Amino acid sequence: MRWRAPVLGATAVAAAAAFALWFASAPTRLDPAALAAAPQGDAARGEQVFAAAGCASCHAAPGATGEARLRLAGGVALVTPFGRFVAPNISPDPRDGIGGWSFADFANALMRGVTPDGTHLYPAFPYTSYARMTLADAADLYAFMTTLPPVEGRAAAHELGFPFNVRRGLGLWKRLFLDTQPVVALKDPSPAVARGQYLVEALGHCGECHTPRNLAGGLDTARWLAGASAAAGPGKVPNITPGGTKAGGWSEDEIAEFLKSGFTPDFDSAGGAMAEVILNTAELPDTDRAAIAAYLKAVPAIPD
């Protein structure tokens, strides 16, 4: 019977390790007191947050224009090395969308990647950037979203293999890669640069495409905005730091004009996913596009 003590000891250690992993991977939500203190949302301001955050790019039908971009039935697929992710219905439909969600439900999904029932969302939804949003902007966005047309029908499910289909593991991933602090430490930024930092790092989630990722799928912030492989399909997303050989040489005015019209200084035009982004940035005020340009000229220059 001498074997019993080592076996029982090993079992206890394994059980303790399993409990520790389960605890560490639990969903983390926003502070309820902070949520309760959030200001009442304003739908008119929320419309600008909606444009800056690019919600229609993934949750409206591909190629949608005009009012059709406000029908957020989801269905856009993102095929990645981790699997096929499908954007869900986030219209106010109470059965198939998020019409039954409270502001707290909405803010926790948006800024912490947690559904009302405590399920981790996959970071194909860029909550790692939205985590830097203010609760005031989240409240405004929620107010605007409630004014949109409800759309029936659920989007298709994600298609993921093991181990990526085990959502609980995302709790550990978030501990490594969900950070609410600014990515770039700017010394005494001007109001325009500070506003641009917020738009790029939080609402616009530009780094999600323009920054390379490590093997775990987290952003390599040491090469912030230095270009990356396209998340879906072949191709490269360009380096937009001042060290880039293409966009890095554009002036602030040229960057702002590109974000408005989609035309580059050499009269080329935005294509692919960037064309969708331009539909959003074109709706921003001129001051916001100028702020984005000012920030992009202030970030560290990283060569291609």
The 10s digit of each residue's pLDDT in 83-105 is 999 999 999 999 999 999 999 99
pLDDT of residue 11: 61
**In a 10 Å sphere around its CB, with 0-12 CB exposed, 13-18 middle and 19+ buried, how is residue 29 labelled?**
middle
What residues pair up with 120 in beta bridges, in sequence order? 114
Length of the chain (residues): 304
pLDDT of residue 267: 86
Residue indicated by tokens 């960057």: 255
Residue 253 has pLDDT above 90, yes or no: yes
Buried b (16+ CB within 10 A) or exposed e, 174-189: beebbeeeebbeeeeb
Residue indicated by tokens 């360009």: 238
- Amino acid identity of residue 4, one-letter, is R
| pLDDT band (50, 70, 90) for residue 18 | low
Residue 3 has pLDDT above 80, yes or no: no
Q: Which residue has the higher pLDDT, 17 or 203?
A: 203
DSSP string, 91-132: SS-TTTSSTT--HHHHHHHHHH-B-TTSPBPPTTS-HHHHTT
Which alpha helices (H) appear in the chain, and where do they start and end? 4-24, 32-37, 43-53, 55-59, 103-112, 127-130, 135-145, 170-177, 191-198, 207-210, 252-261, 272-281, 286-298
Residue 107 has pLDDT above 70, yes or no: yes
| pLDDT band (50, 70, 90) for residue 123 | very high
Closest CA to 123 of 194, 209, 223: 209
Name the token pair of 117: 């029932």
The SS3 call for residue 53 is: helix
The 10s digit of each residue's pLDDT in 127-159 is 999 999 999 999 999 999 999 999 999 999 999
The 10s digit of each residue's pLDDT in 178-205 is 999 999 999 999 999 999 999 999 999 9
**Domains in the chain: boundaries:** 32-177, 191-298
Contact 197, 295 (CB under 8 A): yes
Residue 14 has pLDDT above 90, yes or no: no
Residue range 227-246: mean pLDDT, rounded: 86
Distance CA(121)–CA(5), nearest Å, equals 42
Residue 15 has pLDDT above 80, yes or no: no
Residue 269 has pLDDT above 90, yes or no: no
Q: Which residue has the higher pLDDT, 187 or 25?
A: 187
Contact 78, 160 (CB under 8 A): no
pLDDT, mean over the chain: 91
pLDDT of residue 24: 80
- Amino acid identity of residue 78, one-letter, is L
